[in-house]
């Protein structure tokens, strides 16, 4: 399943710090393959790694304000929290799945447990 962490509304030119996001991903998955070849608007930077549940992938939209995650829900929640920590507090962030079966606001300071509860309540 694909999940998204996306800035809602105008990001005012803000873009995620790719190096900081890469460093954070490496904390959780030490063996990360990074593909920086611009493949499409949605796949401007790709991280591939092995999770406890199998292979995973995250990729960044070229505008730097949306992270796509093809991973299990618990890993997507972790990645969304990391993305939120690297996003300015004044920007609104939404966490959802590709089919919009849930769509929750991801406020600054939200914990993994809180986000899991929000997702479960929305789904």
**What residue numbers bound the domain in which 12 lies?**
2-122
Question: What's CA 116's distance to the chain center, in Å?
Answer: 14
pLDDT of residue 46: 95
d(CA 57, CA 121): 26
pLDDT of residue 105: 95
pLDDT of residue 51: 93
Query: What DSSP element (H or E) covers 80?
Result: helix 73-85
pLDDT of residue 37: 84
Packing angle, helices 112-122 and 73-85, rounded to 10: 120
pLDDT of residue 1: 85
Mean per-residue pLDDT over the chain, rounded: 94
pLDDT tens for each residue of 87-101: 999 999 999 999 889
User: Could you report the average pLDDT of every consecutive run of 10 residues in the chain (123 residues)?
Assistant: 93 93 94 89 93 94 95 96 96 93 94 95 84
> How many domains would you assign to the chain?
1
* CATH number of the domain enclosing 91: 3.30.310
In the chain, which ranges are E strands? 2-8, 32-35, 45-51, 54-60, 66-70, 92-97, 103-105
Q: In angstroms, what is the C-alpha Rg of the chain?
A: 13
Q: What pTM, to 2 d.p., does this model score?
A: 0.94
pLDDT of residue 39: 84
């Amino acid at each position: 399943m694909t999940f998204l962490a996306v800035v809602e509304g105008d990001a005012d030119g803000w873009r995620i710090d790719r190096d900081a996001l890469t460093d954070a991903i490496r904390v959780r998955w030490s063996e990360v393959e990074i593909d920086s070849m611009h493949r499409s608007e949605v796949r401007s930077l790709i991280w591939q790694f092995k999770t406890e549940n199998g292979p995973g992938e995250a990729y960044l939209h070229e505008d730097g304000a949306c992270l796509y995650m093809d991973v299990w829900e618990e890993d997507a929640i972790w990645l969304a929290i990391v993305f939120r920590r690297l996003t300015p507090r004044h920007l609104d962030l939404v966490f959802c799945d590709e089919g919009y079966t849930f769509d929750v606001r991801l406020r600054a300071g939200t914990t993994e447990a809180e986000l899991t509860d929000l997702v479960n309540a929305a789904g």
